[in-house]
Structure 1
Amino acid sequence: METRGLASMTDGARLSWTALGDRARKPPVVMLHGGPGLPDYLGEVAAMVGDLAPVYRYDQRGTGLSAWRGRHSLARHVDDLAELLDTWDAARAVLIGHSYGTDLASRFCLAHPDRVAAMLLMCGPFVGDWRPGYRAERGRRMAAAQQARYQALEEVPDRTEEQEVELLTLAWFTDHADPERGWDWAAQGARRRRPVNWAMNAELGGDGRADPLDERLDELRACLPARTELLGGAEDPRPVSALASLALRLDLPLTRIEDAGHEPWLEQPDAVRAHLRRFVRGAVGG
């Protein structure tokens, strides 16, 4: 059974959330979507474990059904998650983050380690000098004409709806191991995960550069819950070697999903489902 609601934050923002499963069971699983600047897109992932524990998702402020205007900060996003847990009467939660959601989960753990029962970080966080390798691999997966079109669209100040969809499709299709299916998934996502809050993306990116997670890894390692794992797609254009380095730094297990990219549940749903179910069962004691 799915439940929906709106939670009021202390600064007046109202965040839209969705819960799947029996909300009386504790601790719940909370899924943190990526972006930053996208609405939630993890419904398909939540359904993989919704029978094992209640699974909460939410649109981060300024995205999807969480209408809000104002400056974004990583600290405020951490506070949002804490206030949502209070709304859901959850003293602690199992956090499953994807992409930017792994950065948010990590920063929440730094601020509120007592509220994190377990944590699974999917396809992130990427720390260190990983961006040159990512840009090079993304460029390798694009044809020359696609690269030129992508760069041209990036420079358009006021893109039309179709131009925005085309830009996002070009930006996202290289995230997948299979380029043909990747194009279809990217095109679908470009129409569904809208609108993109580009201001939010830029502001949180600036916050991250001012307070890089890279410099807090020793602190993070000291406060991680006992059950913390990393998972990544072996064919993610973001170098899986960066996740391997992070796993060594944090002394965490890393599972690579073969023949999968940045959204491994699309290309290898059975493997991801099996991993998530094992992890959640262990985390909630089921």
Structure 2
Amino acid sequence: MDDTEPVRAEDGCRLWTDDTGHGKPLILCHGGPGLWDMFGAVATVLSARMRVIRWDQRGCGRSERREAEDRELAVLQWSADFADPATARGYAEQLADPWFGINYECNAAITAEERQVWRETELVTACRGLAVPTLIVDGAQDIRPRWAVDSLQEALPSATRVVLPHAGHVPWLEAPDEFRTAVVNFLCPA
């Protein structure tokens, strides 16, 4: 048996598969998320002794990618941005509604340009020259490195920082009252 015909999932999504060799089946599942099957050489070695089945997971590699799957992947990734796992999925769903899709090419191009134009010392110098009042509101339970926000606060000469203890990366959803209070107090001091 040597077959690379696509398989159709129940919902019609086309999945790339490879089925080689004879005998007891061995299913190879690639890692990720977002990667693809990298076991071609392994299958070549083993297919003389057994049936080796491989595939690219939905939306990965040679398998079909669908807009709904892109949204689902974003929701899963964004769920990690929230402090409370019990409410994280709901908040991530809110961020994805409406769904416009992510322009990964634009993201990559801007990130590459940013790395070429801004060196850390130049960026810190530029920030120190900003004489505008700046409010930084962040969640204490954000999974991103704290040093990134700490260094921004240090670089901005007129920065006020409010850390919300029970929020992650998206404090306006997890702690809307505290977030609103911080912004109003900053913009309209008593």
In the alignment, is the contact (CA less than 8 A) between 2:139 and 2:168 conserved in 1?
yes
**Residue in 2 aligned with 1:268?**
175
Gaps of 5+ in 2: 1-30, 36-56
**Residue in 2 aligned with 1:45?**
none
Greater share of residues in helix: 1
Q: Which has the higher contact order (CA 8 A, sep 6+)?
A: 1
Matched, 1:209 2:115: yes
**Residue in 2 aligned with 1:234?**
140
Q: Which runs of 4+ in 1 moved over 6 A?
A: none
Q: Secondary structure at the match of 2:136?
A: strand
Matched, 1:193 2:99: yes
Q: Secondary structure at the match of 2:188?
A: helix
**Residue in 1 aligned with 2:39?**
none
Q: Distance between the aligned counterparts of 1:154 and 1:257, measured in 2? A: 36
**Residue in 1 aligned with 2:185?**
278
Matched, 1:246 2:152: yes
**Change in 2 beyond 3 A, CA 1:154/1:242:** farther
In the alignment, is the contact (CA less than 8 A) between 2:138 and 2:169 conserved in 1?
yes
Q: Secondary structure at the match of 1:204?
A: helix
In the alignment, is the contact (CA less than 8 A) between 1:232 and 1:240 conserved in 2?
no
Q: How does 1:56-67 map to 2 (within 5 A)?
A: none
Larger radius of gyration: 2
| Matched length | 136
Give the share of equivalent positions with the same residue, in percent.
29
What is the root-mean-square deviation in Å for CA atoms of aligned residues?
2.5
Q: Distance between the aligned counterparts of 2:72 and 2:93, measured in 1? A: 8
Q: TM-score under structure 2 normalisation? A: 0.62
- Within the candidate set 45, 57, 67, 1:161 is matched to 67
**Residue in 2 aligned with 1:69?**
none
Name the amino acid aligned to 1:201. N
In the alignment, is the contact (CA less than 8 A) between 1:154 and 1:167 conserved in 2?
no
Q: Distance between the aligned counterparts of 1:273 and 1:201, measured in 2? A: 29
In the alignment, is the contact (CA less than 8 A) between 1:165 and 1:191 conserved in 2?
no
| Cα offset, 1:210, TM superposition | 1.1
Q: TM-score under structure 1 normalisation? A: 0.42
| Cα offset, 1:246, TM superposition | 2.3
Name the amino acid aligned to 2:172. W
Matched, 1:180 2:86: yes
**Change in 2 beyond 3 A, CA 1:217/1:240:** same
